[in-house]
Structure 1
Amino acid sequence: MGASPDWAEIRAEFPALRRWTYLNTATFGQVPRCAVQAVALHFARRDALACSDFLAWFDDADRIRALVARLINASPADIAFIPNAATALGLLLGGLDWRPGDRIVTLESEFPNSIYHPALLSCHGIEFIEVPWEGFWEAVTPNTRLVVVSEVNYITGFRVPLRDAAPELRRRGVLLFVDGTQSAGALRFDARQVAPDMYAVHGYKWLLAPNGAGFMYVHPELRERLMPNVIGWRSHQNWRQVDNLHHGAPVFPAEAEKYEGGMLTFAVLYAMEASLRLILEIGVENIERRVLELAGKVRDVARKLGAQLLSDDSPHYDSPVVAARFAQRPAAELARELARRHVLVSARHDFLRISPHFYNNEEDIARLEQELSCLL
């Protein structure tokens, strides 16, 4: 599509929007019709060919891998498919040679994926610390081995300045894990510029894919030393020779696919491919501009209605996630009442979380304002 996408035409790809004012992509993205059709086509192909062409599915997976690489400006060799972002963090935490006294740093109010597993390492003498952004650099001490952050915080919408932070962490020899689940598909990400050690995305939110469709970027330097901790028949470099599979210790491929282990969940990958093509056709720059514009309008409405916002006007909150607290009623109660009126948002820690994507429009925000005005 050109510089000015036809947002009304694009919106027609999402049938649920005919019945719902959907401002809840930070929970689930709406899956477009083209992605649903891609799943149906996969199963029709299975029926027609009785799975006799299953090796060709892996060629398709490589095509999808190339689309992911294009989305984040990486090499296809850097990309592995994962079922969720927690899997990627587990791979990283399980593959490092931890020593007592090592430190892991994350930010306050992180998603539990970024907290639970690192916290459990404390029984092995690993120090795990959660800090506000204002105290981040003070917390990154010489014994810090790993920083775990979400690019966009799932509650507040806080956006970590990765382009500034990542080079400094690399200079200090600290590994960086970034969860991009709340940003990929809505905001631009350049893997070559940021160069995190690992970047993981579960695509069921802003990438508009089904649950179970995700990917991770693994930096080439990390791949050289990070052993897979899920080993399967595709862990050996010549796994495509299915008529004569290797028996014995595997020789790992150099590419990130060595972390995939076994069979892929092709149905959801085909759906993710269709959504990726839609996103790339619209243009991530156009999408980012649109979602930030809509999020700004949501903040304006919230302020007009007297809300306390968990954000300020700094670039740290240039994200599509808006958190607003209304003193008149609890957030969970407001979310339930809005849902009764077919307006979907979510409640997180007594804040209403409102998260528009490119398929939303100004009429959705006007409807939100109208219904909130009636409820407050």
Structure 2
Amino acid sequence: MELEQARKLWQPEPGWLNTATYGLPPEPVWDAVQRVLADWRTGRVSFEVWDESVDRSRAAFARLTGVDAADVSVGASASQLVAPIAAGLPAGATVVVPETEFTSILFPWLVQRDRGVRVRTVPLAGLVDAIDAGTDLVAFSVVQSADGTVAPYDEIVAAARAHGAFVVADATQACGWLPFAADRADAVVVGAYKWLMSPRGSAFAYLAPALRERMRPDAAGWYAGREPHASYYGLPLRLADDARRFDIAPPWLSYAGTAPALELLADLDLEAVRAYDVGLANRFLAGLGRPPGDSAIVTVDVPDAQERLARAGVRAAVRAGRVRASFHLYTTEADVDRAVEALTG
């Protein structure tokens, strides 16, 4: 599908510049959620019908990120998917993380401190140089939530590989607008409710086979079974041989909307999405006299910015004390110009 054709699938109220908080559903997503809500309300179908959306979502995420579906685990949040990776670290391991990281990719390591796991935080700009022979794992966001900074992904991976360290990336603020090679990392986790424009409650993890060997599926239930529908009751333990052994039973209502959202994005040229989103971000920056950047998320420090935007009907966020604006497929130039006028008028 061409980008301009796809952009007709949204009906947003003007002024939404906050995809970094949550994305807006295209019409196929909205329609799918309404259908599953009606089915739930009336009890007209069995859950197996809803479960088909999980398989579709897994396949679409794999296609979107260029990985094998057998290496994709489904869950409900980024931190939940990181947890078994952290639990699988050997006692005394050292993890290096940027110092201002979003806590979903920070707290899971910190709670392992009672086993002697050490977390070393450094500025993102110094992350590559901080990876050394004593580093067991490096964790970071591909795009920083606080200000939209795009991490030097390839350089971080190369430094980790040079020292035999694992790489875990949180792509929640990147996947859906920024092309990157997910399979270069050992794990990539993504919450789907932002740039993937899904209902909150669906999340994905690419888990490389070598990393999975060090992980323990502590949350395993019937959905992690080799044959889920033959894993409802009793012994023996019979888990899937691939990344599905780390699945948790999915929130079907969320995945009903996730499947069409990811399928839509997987059919688009992600480079064209990146160019569109970053182009709008740079239009915003230019209107405020700022130099252009390389991200769909930008932050600005303007006196009374939040109040000015609110009066103009522009919805943005405040992160780390600055106004954060984010731009995606349903954002228009008129939205950008409205925000610029509010901040400069």
TM-score under structure 2 length normalisation: 0.92
- Within the alignment, does 1:155 sit opposite 2:146 as a pair? yes
The AA in structure 2 aligned to 1:36 is: W
Deviations along 1:316-358, one digit per CA (max 9) or x if unpaired, are x5211111112xx2xxx42133123211111112211111112
What is the one-letter code of the residue matched to 1:300? A
Which of 173, 188, 196 lines up with 2:179 in the alignment?
Answer: 188
**Retained in 1: the 8 A contact 2:53–2:259?**
no
Q: Are 2:155 and 1:177 aligned? A: no
Percentage identity across paired residues of the two chains = 27
Is this contact kept in 2: 1:104–1:144, CA < 8 A? yes
What stretches of structure 2 of length at least 5 have no aligned partner?
A: none
Check whether the contact 1:223–1:254 (CA below 8 A) recurs between aligned residues.
no
Map of 2:156 onto structure 1: 165
Once structures 1 and 2 are overlaid, which stretch shifts more, 198-207 or 274-283?
Answer: 274-283
Matching residue of 1:34:
28
Aligned ranges for residues 295-334 of structure 1 at < 5 Å? 295-303=281-289, 318-326=294-302, 329=303, 333-334=304-305
Corresponding residue of 1:346:
317
1:278 CA drift (Å): 2.2
Shift of 1:256: 1.1
2:109 aligns to what? 118
Matched, 1:291 2:273: no
Aligned to 1:308: none
Q: 3-state SS of the aligned residue for 2:229? A: coil
Partner residue, 1:223:
212
Q: Deviations over 1:233-264 (max 9, x none)?
A: 2333233226xx45224132122111113x31
Q: For residues 137-167 of structure 1, give each alpha carbon's deviation from its aligned partner in whole angstroms, at most 9, with x where no partner exists.
A: 3422322111110000012211112223213
Change (3 A) 1:225 1:112: closer
Aligned to 1:271: 257
Where does residue 9 of structure 2 map in the other structure? 13
- Note if contact 1:159-1:319 (Cα within 8 Å) is conserved in structure 2: yes
State the SS of the aligned residue for 1:178.
Answer: strand
Cα distance, 1:181 vs structure 2: 0.6
C-alpha deviations, 1:95-117, integer Å up to 9, x for none? 22222xx2111113211222333
**Structure 1 residue 58: Cα displacement:** 3.5
Deviation at 1:91, TM superposition (A): 1.9
Distance in 1, Cα, partners of 2:12 & 2:329: 14
1:78/1:219 contact within 8 Å kept: yes
Partner residue of 1:232 out of 187, 196, 221 = 221
In structure 2, do the counterparts of structure 1 residues 324 and 123 end up closer, same or farther at CA, with 3 Å as the change threshold? same
Partner of 1:360: 331
Please tell me the residue identity of whatever aligns with 2:12: A
Hey, what's the Cα distance between the residues in 1 that align with 2:190 and 2:216? 20
- Which structure would you say has the larger Rg? 1
Compared with structure 1, are the counterparts of its residues 356 and 60 closer, same or farther at alpha carbon in structure 2 (3 Å cutoff)? closer
Deviation by residue 1:70-104 (Cα, 9 ceiling, x = unmatched):
000011101111111111121211122222xx211
What residue in structure 1 maps to residue 71 of structure 2? 78
Change (3 A) 1:352 1:59: closer
Residue 259 (1) aligns with residue 222 (2): no
CA-to-aligned-CA distance 1:198-252 (integer Å, 9 cap, x gap) = 111111111111111211111122123311120212333233226xx45224132
Q: For 1:123 and 1:303, how far apart are their aligned partners in 2?
A: 49
Quick check: 1:55–1:240 contact (8 Å CA) kept in 2? no
What is the deviation of 1:363? 1.4
- State which drifts further: 342-351 or 41-50: 41-50
CA 1:318–1:239: 2 relative to 1, 3 Å: same
Q: Deviations over 1:158-181 (max 9, x none)?
A: 111222321331342211110011
For 2:276, the aligned partner's letter is R
Task: State whether structure 2 residue 124 is matched by structure 1 residue 133.
Answer: yes
Q: Assess, with a 3 A threshold, how the Cα gap between structure 1 residues 281 and 137 changes in structure 2: closer, same or farther.
A: closer
* Contact 1:200–1:216 (CA under 8 A) maintained in structure 2: yes
Distance verdict in 2 for CA 1:43–1:225, change over 3 Å = same
The answer to whether the 8 Å contact 1:10/1:359 transfers is no
Is the 2:105–2:139 contact (alpha carbons within 8 Å) kept by the matching residues of 1?
yes
Relative to 1, partners in 2 of residues 1:235 and 1:132: Cα closer, same or farther, differing over 3 Å? same
Structure-2 residue corresponding to 1:206: 195
My pick for the range that moved more, 102-111 or 163-172, is 163-172
- 1:274-307 CA-to-partner distances (Å, cap 9, x unmatched) read 1112223332121011111111112212226xxx
Letter matched to residue 258 of structure 1: R
Equivalent in the alignment of 1:96: 89
* Cα contact 1:65–1:76 (8 A) shared by 2: yes
| TM-score normalised by structure 1 residue count | 0.85
